[in-house]
Chains A and B, each alone.
Chain A
Amino acid sequence: NAGVTQTPKFQVLKTGQSMTLQCAQDMNHNSMYWYRQDPGMGLRLIYYSASEGTTDKGEVPNGYNVSRLNKREFSLRLESAAPSQTSVYFCASSATVEGQPQHFGDGTRLSIL
C-alpha cells in the first residue's frame, strides 16, 4: 500500500520562482494536510482540507496556496518562492479531522536560493 505519496522528494528553486508540491493518498481519507518542518522544530500546519471541496488556513499560510483537486489529491503551491520557505514539507491525511491519526508522506526537501 502506498499510503501518502509526495512528489518531488527534493527540489531547489531560485527566489521568485513558483512551484507546486503534489500529494496523493490512497486510503480514502476525507482530510488532508500540509505541514512544514524547520530545523529543531516540530511540524507547523500550513493549510488543511477537512473534506473534498474545502480548504482552511493553518498556523503559517502566508506565501502558500492549496488546491484539493479531488478526494485523493491535495497540492501546495508556492507562487513566488522566498528563502524563508526553505524547509521540509510533509503532506498528511486522516479519516476525519477530529481525533483520527494522521498518516504522513515521506516529505519534500525544498531549498530556495
Chain B
Amino acid sequence: AQKVTQAQTEISVVEKEDVTLDCVYETRDTTYYLFWYKQPPSGELVFLIRRNSFDEQNEISGRYSWNFQKSTSSFNFTITASQVVDSAVYFCAPLYGGSQGNLIFGKGTKLSVKP
C-alpha cells in the first residue's frame, strides 16, 4: 500500500532551536509529488512546498529547508532558529497516481515552540 509516515507525533522546542520534522513515504510509482502543509492553531491549511520525484535537489526558503532523499524515501523538513509563530501541525502529503492520484496526508507532527 502506498502511504506516508510521520513518526513524530509531537515535538516541543525552545525558540531559536533548530528542529527537523521527519517524513517517510512508500510508493511503487516512479513519478510522484511530495508536499508539506502547515496547519496553525487557527485551523487553516497553508501550502509550504511541492517537490516532484525527479528533482532531488534540496530546497531552502528563508528559515525553512527540505531534504529529499529518494534512496531512503524521505522528505524531511527543517526549521532553523524556530520562532513561536512556527507552532503548528505540519503535514507531509505525497501525491501518487499521476492524473488519477490524490494527496495522502500523514497524521501530522505537532510542533510547539516555546519562548
Contact = CB atoms under 8 A, between A and B. Distances in A.
A88 interface: yes
A45 B108 CA distance: 16
Q: Is the interface of A mostly helix, strand, loop or mixed?
A: loop
A97 B101 contact: yes
B66 to A, nearest CB: 14
A99 B44 contact: no
B1 to A, nearest CB: 12
Nearest to B6: A42
Interface residues of B toward A: which range? Answer: 20 to 34
B105 interface: yes
A96 B102 CA distance: 11
Given A99-B50, A99-B52, A101-B50, A45 B102 contact: yes
Nearest to A97: B99
A33 B95 CA distance: 14
Interface residue range, chain A: 20 to 34
Interface string A24-57: 0000000001000000111111001010000000
Interface stretch (A67-75, A77-85, A102-110): A102-110
Contacts of B105: 42-44
Interface string A87-100: 01010100011111
B50 A43 contact: no
B30 interface: no
A98 B94 CA distance: 11
A27 to B, nearest CB: 12
16 contacts: A42-B107, A42-B108, A43-B45, A43-B103, A44-B105, A58-B102, A92-B45, A97-B102, A98-B99, A99-B33, A101-B35, A102-B35, A103-B47, A104-B37, A104-B45, A105-B44
Interface of B: 33, 35, 37, 43-45, 47, 50, 52, 91, 93, 95, 98-103, 105-108
